[in-house]
Structure 1
Amino acid sequence: MTTFIAHRGASTAYAEHTRAAYVQALADGADGLECDVQLTADGEVVLWHDPTLDRTSDATGDLHDRTLAELRGLDTFSWRTADLPTSHGDAAAQVLTLGELAALAIEADRPVVLVVELKHPSPFGHALEDATLAALRAHAWDSASGRLGESDVTVCFMSFSTSSLEHLASDVPGDALMLLVDELSDAALVEDLAPGTEATPEAVASARAAVGRGLALVADGAVGGFGPSVAWCRAHPDEVRDLVAQGRTLRVWTVDDVADAEFLVSLGVGELTTNTPRELRAALAATQPPPGAAA
């Protein structure tokens, strides 16, 4: 059975990471909510993807220079749509902390997977991981079960950063950790892992070594999950099949095209991260034979 994880919420309908996007994702029946977390200047764990404000708000500059209160004074939603139903929160409520997203998931009163991506490099180093776990503990997160209190919400963590996963491993079971990978050129990989760094042979070797260290953690089971991009899966279908055969959790991003979804399901992938959870579920169901149908 395929699980649909809402990528930054229902982020085609409403601006990514906003309250509206997550309220809509839950209303659309998403099985899980994916978010990126970073720290504000005043140490709040906020949902935000980019290191800067430019793409998803009406301001410029670095996210880490702003307090949570300052972020809540920005317009973070009208670039997608300015039409916010009253049920989806007003303008001042659109920027969310991780704790507030946890509360939304709990209020859904049904099984929900909360998928937290730790964004690196961070100017705060691994204080990001520590603050993230503290925010979840405030909602009675239990590291052994992964659950938030007595709710049906379970939490898992993922990152492109091997050092982030290694830091989390002292508090989080390996089954709740996932390495993210993409199919990138050497220059793009260096830029991803060390923004602003020239792709010298030494920098490329360092970046490839970091990825190799993460893959080794997956291979030996210290990190139980694997989160490749669609492009990586297209380039390495045999590796995907092998990981599925080993019983590993594969959560592929970002899957909005039904042809990609069909391809991934054919490889045995069980979790799809998508900007359009309701639409992709319906489109994929329409192309699949009903349960019990003859092949």
Structure 2
Amino acid sequence: MTQARQHSIQVVAHRGASEDAPEHTLAAYRKAIEDGADALECDVRLTADGHLVCVHDRRVNRTSNGRGAVSALELADLAALDFGSWKDAAESPDWKDPSLTSVLTLERLLELVADAGRRVELAIETKHPTRWAGQVEERLLQLLGRFGLSAPASPTDSAVRVMSFSARSLSRISAAAPTLPTVYLMQFMTPRMRDGRLPAGARIAGPGIRIVRNHPSYVAKLHRAGHPVHVWTVNEPEDVELCARLGVEAIITNRPKQVLTQLGRL
């Protein structure tokens, strides 16, 4: 890897520095910023009373001490839960502070990024299917608008991008905010994808690392079609090396500090 190549790859903290701290908590995102991550990845879901919260699963069972679907719970219900104790708290005394492991709203994460003291981008994934259909995208754009982030001058100027496995979700975003970058996430290689085309409304390709491992030439096809490539979730050194060798634009990882070190940036 050349020095220029190493520095041109954006390192994105997947759910924060989620190997070191509980995913989607303030502790994980603060750690990612401290570690030097270029961007933070988060998943968003809409609560029953209309708040966007950073929770990956449809239900809170895995990552909290509560039960139930996010869409059926109000923000006050979620705020009463502990989203940190499922991970070994002995690894970090910070997790004992409830303010760092309570449910994280997207609004609070946007505030954290605004106060970071340097440019930190956000990669926001809308989760689907959902009972709220297009309301997730509508609320997301409203919130981004409050922070002055919904209408960048151009996609390259944007500090936020919206990601989804749902082409319909990205189409909604693209129609309402045409200069906001959109990333089409891919879990499996399908015949329709093989020539490098993406669904309407998608600007950036987001293949999983398994696709990149099994079909490394696909990255070149995507580049020839004019699409930057952001690969998830890249944790192993050999996968980081592969992505760098193939010239991807972004690596999404649970281990931002280790990846930055491997790329020679720390």
Q: Same fold (TM over 0.5)?
A: yes
- Separation in 2 of the partners of 1:175 and 1:244? 20
- Give runs of aligned pairs for residues 1-295 of structure 1, distance below 5 A: 1-82=8-89, 90-94=97-101, 95-145=103-153, 154-173=159-178, 176-183=181-188, 212=192, 218=198, 222-285=201-264
The answer on whether the counterparts of 1:99 and 1:139 sit within 8 Å (CA) in structure 2 is: no
- Separation in 2 of the partners of 1:267 and 1:225? 16
The answer on whether the counterparts of 1:9 and 1:22 sit within 8 Å (CA) in structure 2 is: yes
AA in 2 matched with 1:259: E
Deviations 1:162-221 (A, max 9, x none): 11011111122366011000127xxxxxxxxxxxxxxxxxxxxxxx7xx959x987277x
What is the CA-CA distance between 1:32 and the residue it aligns to? 0.1
Deviations 1:264-287 (A, max 9, x none): 11111121000010112113439x
- Separation in 2 of the partners of 1:61 and 1:177? 30
Deviations 1:25-71 (A, max 9, x none): 00000000000000011110000000011110111221111111111
- Separation in 1 of the partners of 2:121 and 2:130? 25
- Separation in 1 of the partners of 2:107 and 2:154? 15
- Separation in 1 of the partners of 2:30 and 2:172? 31
The answer on whether the counterparts of 1:110 and 1:153 sit within 8 Å (CA) in structure 2 is: no
- Separation in 1 of the partners of 2:244 and 2:20? 25
Structure 1 residues 271 and 227, CA gap change in structure 2 (3 angstroms): same
The answer on whether the counterparts of 1:155 and 1:176 sit within 8 Å (CA) in structure 2 is: yes
Structure 1 residues 61 and 175, CA gap change in structure 2 (3 angstroms): closer
AA in 1 matched with 2:185: L
AA in 2 matched with 1:107: D
The answer on whether the counterparts of 1:112 and 1:153 sit within 8 Å (CA) in structure 2 is: no
SS of the residue 2:56 aligns to: coil
- Separation in 2 of the partners of 1:27 and 1:115? 18
Pairs aligned (count): 254
The corresponding residue for 2:5 is none
Note the aligned Cα RMSD (angstroms).
2.6
The answer on whether the counterparts of 1:20 and 1:89 sit within 8 Å (CA) in structure 2 is: no
The answer on whether the counterparts of 2:53 and 2:104 sit within 8 Å (CA) in structure 1 is: yes
The answer on whether the counterparts of 1:256 and 1:275 sit within 8 Å (CA) in structure 2 is: yes
The answer on whether the counterparts of 1:72 and 1:93 sit within 8 Å (CA) in structure 2 is: no
Identity %: 36
The corresponding residue for 2:4 is none
Structure 1 residues 104 and 224, CA gap change in structure 2 (3 angstroms): same
Structure 1 residues 216 and 42, CA gap change in structure 2 (3 angstroms): farther
- Separation in 2 of the partners of 1:42 and 1:175? 26
- Separation in 2 of the partners of 1:163 and 1:55? 27
